[in-house]
Structure formats: C-alpha cells, structure tokens
Amino acid sequence: MYTEIDTPSVLIDTKIAKSNINKYQTYCTEKGLNLRPHIKTHKLPYFANLQIDAGAVGITCQKVSEAEAMLDGDLDHSIKNILLSYNILGRSKLERLKRISERVKLSVVADNIECIEGLSKAFSSLNNELPILIEVDTGALRCGVVTPQEACDLALRVSELPGVSFAGLMTYPPKSNAATTMNNFFNEAKNLIELSGLKIQTISIGGSPQMWKAHEVPLATEYRVGTYIYNDKSLIVSGACTIEDCALTILSTVISTPTPNRAVIDAGSKVLTSDLMGLKGHGLIVGYPDLTISQLSEEHGCITSSTPTNLRVGQRIQVIPNHACVVSNMVDHVVFIKDDQVLTQQQVVARGKVW
C-alpha cells in the first residue's frame, strides 16, 4: 500500500498521468495543432517518451541543462526534437547548446539582438542553421518584444545572419484575454513579416490554464503545455481539470495537533513550495475540502480550521499542491503509484537544472 511509505513523498498516479497525456493529445490532433509538451512539470524522460509516443512533435525545455538531462536519460531514444524556449547567452551555454544540436533537431527562441548575434556567432561554424523563433510579449509582461514591428525587425536580422534561420514566433500567453491579444499580435506580425519576404513556419503558443481554448488562436501551429500531465489546484480553480484529473499528490503525516482546530503536517515549503498562484492557502487536502493549509514553514504545514480538524497524530493525508511543476523540482525522487500500490521510485533527473 502506497500509504505506508515514508513521508513526505511525492506520489504520481501513473494511470491518471497517462490519461491526461492522451486526452490533450487527442484534443490537439483534432484541432490540427502540434503538441510540444514542456518537461518542466515532470522532469522525467519516462514521461517525455510517453508524450512522444502519444503523438507529441517534440519537447520544450527552458534551460540547456534541462535538455541535457532529458537526452542523457532518454533510454527509448525517442526525444528527437527540442525547443529551448529561453534566451541563451554566454560562451559556456552556447557551447553546450551546439553539442545538443548535434544530438537532436534543436530550435530556440530569442527576443533581442545581443542574444541573436551570440547564437549566430556560435552556430556559424556548424553545417546546419539553428532555427530561431522570435519571442513576442502578448501581455504576460515577461520576455518577448512588445510590438509586431520589433518582431519583424528581429526576424529580418535573423534571416541575414549566418548560422541561424528564422522559423517563426513564440509567446507565453497573458492570464486574461489571451486569445484576443494573441490573435491581434500574430495577425499584425504575420502581415509585416510576410510583406518583408519571410515565411513563418511555426507560431508556438502555450499555457495550461487556457489549454482547452488553443483552437481560438487560428494562426497558432503549435501548443506548449506542461502542467496538464499532472494538473494541480491552480488548474482545478481555473476550470481546466477536476480533482480526479490530478496525478501528483504529496503524501504527508500529521505530526502534531496542538489544539482541536489546528494540525501540523510534515510537508512544508521544502515540498509544497510557497507558490500561491493567486490562491488562498497551500494546496488542497484530499477528502477534507473544508481544511486549509494556512501557513508554511520549511518543514511544517499548518492546518487551521474554525471547527475541529478531526485529524490525529500519525494520520496520513494527501495534498494536491497549488502548483505541480515546482513540487517536482523539490524532490530527488517521485513515487509512481497505480491504484493503491507502489510501482517504482523515479529519480527526477531534470530537478534543479537552472543553467
């Protein structure tokens, strides 16, 4: 029984994860969208292989070290196509990027000329050009050029430089009005870029909260999505999934009940993280919808209630976290379960990869 293993442990229900993979692949296939899962949620070659088997065109990584870890752990040799959705700068990272490009079909994103010139210089000595997608800001206020004209200017610059080729546009969507702002930006940018004589092969969008609305952006050719494989409380709240679709839970033990209305579990911010995602409290306790983890220390999760918690010392509970991706990053291993049995322990090979 998985409920007997040591705590805190991060459990992955493999039946649910596989169902999530297949459900969203079916949606993308039906809508004619290429699916390119982001590995940041699971950080496991095992699941990347399953995502590719199901029909994904490749994977998305953000850091060079994530791509390296996924390729090194790819026992199936099925990872043949990687998008690195991050501005890569600096000699050491560019050298590693070149080595990755010798192992798979690699593309990257860039949103500034310094980055593009660095990529061009590094890749001009190779035979194959590195495809670059220009990252555009459609309202998320993170990376990305903020006007279609800038996107066009950078696309032209890429097309002129040796070692690199212009492949399209990429955005990380805003939280609200995503389809409208993306459609406006892409329509205008496409006109400008095509008028300048370039072709756009790929328009890559993504984000789990809006994943079932991907078809509302007709110019998009590709969808990047990470959390959909495990789901979490933030996606339940945004309506993208139900509790039953959540594959990742934290098995935890009640270690203290100082008062009838307060209980403390052995999972704190070192497992759940402090990510609130705009929510109240830290996660959802399975079977106890009225209880909230109201306060986290590194090793303590405090459950407070206006009525008795009815939890007792030694009791095991399962928590669906606010944000699944960051939980994967906190542990060296996750535990695969199926029904009530432990299947295996999996090393999270891309954990902590920030370079």
Using CB under 8 A, list all residues that contact a copy of itself. 6-8, 40, 62-63, 86-87, 89-90, 92-93, 111-112, 114-115, 137, 141-146, 253, 255-259, 262, 264, 266-267, 269-271, 273-276, 295, 297-300, 302, 304, 312-314, 325-326, 329-332, 352, 354-355
Torsion of CA 69, 71, 75, 78, to 10 degrees: 140
- Whole-number Å distance between alpha carbons of 160 and 138: 26
- C-alpha 41/C-alpha 317 separation (Å) is 22
Angle between helices 14-31 and 45-54 (to 10 degrees): 40
Least gap, CB of 350 to a copy of itself (angstroms): 11
Question: Residue 99 contacts by C-beta under 8 Å, 6 or more apart in sequence?
Answer: none
Geometric angle at alpha carbon 153, from 152 and 158, rounded to 5°: 95
Alpha carbon distance 102, 274 (integer Å): 39
**Smallest distance from a copy of itself to CB 215, Å:** 25
User: How far apart are CB 91 and a copy of itself at their closest, in Å?
Assistant: 9
Which lies closer to a copy of itself via its Cβ, residue 58 or residue 144? 144
- Could you give the CA distance from residue 107 to residue 84 in angstroms, rounded to a whole number? 6
Pick 201 or 315: Cβ nearer a copy of itself:
315
Q: Which residue has tokens 């590693």? A: 96
Output the smallest distance, CB 15 to a copy of itself, in A. 26
Start-to-end CA distance of the chain, whole Å, equals 38
For residues 145 and 155, which CB has a smaller minimum distance to a copy of itself in the complex?
145
In this complex, which beta carbon is closest to a copy of itself, that of residue 148 or of residue 221?
148
Comparing CB distances to a copy of itself, the nearer of 180 and 295 is 295
Give the nearest distance from C-beta 29 to a copy of itself in angstroms.
28
* Residue nearer to a copy of itself on the CB measure, 128 or 344: 344
Q: Rounded to the nearest whole angstrom, what is the least distance from the CB of residue 313 to a copy of itself in the complex? A: 4
